[in-house]
Structure 1
Amino acid sequence: MCSGVFIAGRNEGLKEKDDLPSDLMKYATVTIDHKDLSASSSFFGLAHSKAIYRPGLGATLIHELTEKEIRAQKFNLTSPPDVNQDDIPWPMGDKTDHYSIPSNINRTLLQDAISSLFIEKDRKKLINTRAVVVVYDGKLIAEQYARSWPRTSKHLGWSMTKSIISALFGIVAQEKNLDINGPAPVSEWNESDDPRHSITIKDLLQQTSGLNFVEDYTSSSDALKMLYLTSNMAKNAASHALGDKPGTQFSYSSGNTNILSRIIRDIVGENEYHSFPYRKLFYKLGMNSFIMEVDASGTFVGSSYSYGTARDWARFGLLYLSNGLYNNEQILSKDWIEQTIKSSGANRGYRYGFQFWLNNPVSDDSSERRFPNAPTDMYYASGNLGQNVFIIPSKKLVIVRLGATKAPGSDYGADDFLKTVIASIE
């Protein structure tokens, strides 16, 4: 609620109606305090909790540390560029020309594909699409937004934030000449006789750390405890014991990503860390409204908490479509992107790279791909409730879909949607 009101600019009533679980909210009381920028809640009058909003840092849940301790924290932040993006051409700005769409685009077919995601065919399985943006060959060729979700709305990316951390780590690796195949610099594993000492940065990036961490959101799992019951999420994740030999088993874990976020903090230093994503990535892409949230210890919650407009998310995808070259600057090296889209041999199911999902199949059977109707070179950022940034190099496409799909598996018909968008490129 705190993030939705103070970052996304949602009305409290709309936030509760659209995003919070209705079966539980009837037993809860939530109060917004606009004076001290906070949200407080209780459940049956018990289980009190509070989150505070701090400009540049987002909303932070108060736990383990006191509110006074958290509010007393001082970080070096940076301000967004002092420009009016409406006057600057896409992609650095928001000035677009929808009337100069390339002649090989079938506009009718493209619009049919997009419109289909805003039509609710089953009231019991709402797809709740909020925004769609399509970029072809660097040009923004189509977009659509749901009512009450204008173009300037900021959307929670959930686990798409993991892909942001991947990009930030790529920048750090380039600047610091890091060996990602060496032991990850994690204080909890420093001792050479600790079996976790052999976990590499690459293992963390590819979700093959071997840590015994349960990623489950239907029970009191490790992921939920980390996100809602700890002040230092990376420390919590790093405390887990080893379950498998590092590099041998794929196990998707938000804990791995939050450890990576803290490693970035340790490497770039306290004076640079909180401005680093903005100076080195977001503002260079024109993602001027983007924000990442920190936990109570001040580390970015790289697994889950970032907000940006649909166009911001499209800009992020465009960075990868252009092989790291953006606004005449090589922000990510081609080598890093090539490594990003190679799957670990440990992943025997759907393929996974450096915090991105891959659509290349395990075998020649196309049905084993997550999206059989999309090319095998497609890779994508993916978040809870159907957040996606699809990058398809062979089709020169970046496709963003944001929403709150409650259907099983957050399935909003993505495969058919992708098929039709691709078919519109003649």
Structure 2
Amino acid sequence: MIARSRPLIATIALATTLATGLAGCSGSAPDEPPPLSDEALSAVSTSPGAPRRALAREIDDLFVREDLGETRAVVLMEGGRIAAERYAPGYDANTRFVSWSMAKTVTAVLIGLLVSDGRLRLDQPAPVPQWQRAGDPRSAITLRHLLQMRSGLDHTESGPDARTSSEVQMLFLDGRDDMAGWAEEQPLEAEPGERFEYSSNTTVILADIAARVLSESDDPDERRQAVSTYLRSRLFGPLGMTSVVPEFDRSGTLIGGSLIHATARDWAKFGDFLRNKGSYRGEQIVPRAWVEAMTTPSPRSPQYGFQTWLNRPLEDGEGGHPLFPSRAPQTLFAMIGHMGQYVLISPEQRLTLVRLGHSDEPQRKALLQQAADVIELYPASGT
């Protein structure tokens, strides 16, 4: 009995071994993604211009993936219409979100309006009175240099010690009452035009220049009122951006590098206006050529234009790039703010994607790739 049973036992063992091996070759079945929640599906319009469920899942990931940080608001516009909109608990369509450095792009448009009015010149010395004294080498700084972050001024945006940051000194310490005055006092550390150095101080200088053009008074209230009225009548009003609240320092200078507040929808509206090269509902608010200049690479930084980030590749690869050249058209450009504020604008895909929230540096790397996942759902269709 025992001897006769051995072939059967061996056969069973062989079959088991083969089955196990075949299973290992074929691989285990991939885990099914969890079902989409009603909240995830309802955030996407019925005709978003991309597969609806796939889009809902990618946007849902922005809110539920812990490695991306805290997403508080997402608005996606496709072809000028809202394709998706979602908010985290405690936030809604009426919440004003701080811009942080997204404000820099708004300041660039403010300067563009004044250039189109004939009140400023791009390649003439920047009209900062203390730079025009005889023998002052800062007299070589032009408006173009400031817009492209290559003024040569000794401005250090950040570093291992916050006390050495020019931005911290200007916003919170020595310069907080007269931010532009403090920024303008700094000496040169490089020849104007020779080196790119990202700097919030530089943008506040641009805001001060705008205030000097719009108001002949040094009175803070008059400066504040002049800039507010101009922005409202020439930019925010025509765009229907009714939620915008800009902040000013004690000297009446717009804190144009970091402190403008608006709803997610209004940030999306501003981005879409730039996607349309300065046009909104048939009205050319800022010249088309100015938006083209804003999105043209600087001679010293292919990833930067006029106070605007560009999706252009760097010579040394993509490491440290603020966007994702390998995953979206090079015509994509962006407004980027501290801790993960993004307005991503892709003219070729007719898209404007707003993501607002709070993410640290490692989380922002993952967040960018997730934003690219959303954008890749849309084919490039030309401008």
TM-score of the aligned structures, taking structure 1 as reference length: 0.72
- After superposition, residues 379-394 of structure 1 pair within 5 angstroms as 379-394=333-348
Alignment CA distance shift 1:212-1:267 (3 Å):
same
CA displacement at 1:119 relative to structure 2: 1.1
- Opposite residue 156 of structure 1, the aligned amino acid is V
Structure showing greater radius of gyration is 2
Q: Percent identity?
A: 35
Alignment CA distance shift 1:414-1:303 (3 Å):
same
CA displacement at 1:120 relative to structure 2: 3.4
RMSD: 2.1
In the alignment, the residues of structure 1 paired with residue 116 and residue 123 of structure 2 have an alpha-carbon distance, to the nearest angstrom, of 14
In the alignment, the residues of structure 2 paired with residue 109 and residue 152 of structure 1 have an alpha-carbon distance, to the nearest angstrom, of 27
- Opposite residue 77 of structure 2, the aligned amino acid is V
For residue 274 of structure 1, give the secondary structure of its aligned residue in structure 2. Answer: helix
Alignment CA distance shift 1:228-1:360 (3 Å):
same
Alignment CA distance shift 1:363-1:219 (3 Å):
closer
For residue 398 of structure 1, give the secondary structure of its aligned residue in structure 2. Answer: strand
Task: Return 5+ residue gaps in structure 2 as ranges.
Answer: 1-42, 216-222
Alignment CA distance shift 1:99-1:382 (3 Å):
closer
- After superposition, residues 200-219 of structure 1 pair within 5 angstroms as 200-216=142-158, 218-219=161-162
CA displacement at 1:214 relative to structure 2: 1.2
CA displacement at 1:274 relative to structure 2: 2.6
2:116 alignment partner, one of 154, 158, 174: 174
Match of 1:262 in 2: 208
Higher deviation after alignment, 297-306 or 264-273 = 264-273
Match of 1:329 in 2: 283
1:353 alignment partner, one of 301, 305, 312: 305
- After superposition, residues 32-47 of structure 1 pair within 5 angstroms as none
Alignment CA distance shift 1:424-1:379 (3 Å):
closer
Q: Deviations over 1:248-282 (max 9, x none)?
A: 10000111100000100011124632311111111
Q: Is the 8 A contact 1:386 1:411 kept in 2?
A: no
Task: Return 5+ residue gaps in structure 1 as ranges.
Answer: 1-96
Q: Is the 8 A contact 2:244 2:260 kept in 1?
A: yes
In the alignment, the residues of structure 1 paired with residue 74 and residue 45 of structure 2 have an alpha-carbon distance, to the nearest angstrom, of 18
Q: Is the 8 A contact 1:133 1:399 kept in 2?
A: yes
Q: Is the 8 A contact 1:107 1:424 kept in 2?
A: no
- Opposite residue 303 of structure 2, the aligned amino acid is R
TM-score of the aligned structures, taking structure 2 as reference length: 0.80
Match of 1:158 in 2: 100
Q: Is the 8 A contact 2:45 2:82 kept in 1?
A: no
Match of 2:66 in 1: 121
For residue 170 of structure 1, give the secondary structure of its aligned residue in structure 2. Answer: helix
Greater fraction helix: 2
Match of 1:238 in 2: 184
* Structure 1 position 224 matched with structure 2 position 176: no
In the alignment, the residues of structure 2 paired with residue 363 and residue 403 of structure 1 have an alpha-carbon distance, to the nearest angstrom, of 31
In the alignment, the residues of structure 1 paired with residue 372 and residue 155 of structure 2 have an alpha-carbon distance, to the nearest angstrom, of 33
In the alignment, the residues of structure 2 paired with residue 243 and residue 417 of structure 1 have an alpha-carbon distance, to the nearest angstrom, of 37
Q: Is the 8 A contact 1:199 1:246 kept in 2?
A: yes
- Structure 1 runs (4+) greater than 4 angstroms displaced: 97-100, 363-369
Greater fraction strand: 1
In the alignment, the residues of structure 1 paired with residue 310 and residue 375 of structure 2 have an alpha-carbon distance, to the nearest angstrom, of 19
In the alignment, the residues of structure 2 paired with residue 211 and residue 367 of structure 1 have an alpha-carbon distance, to the nearest angstrom, of 26
CA displacement at 1:406 relative to structure 2: 2.6
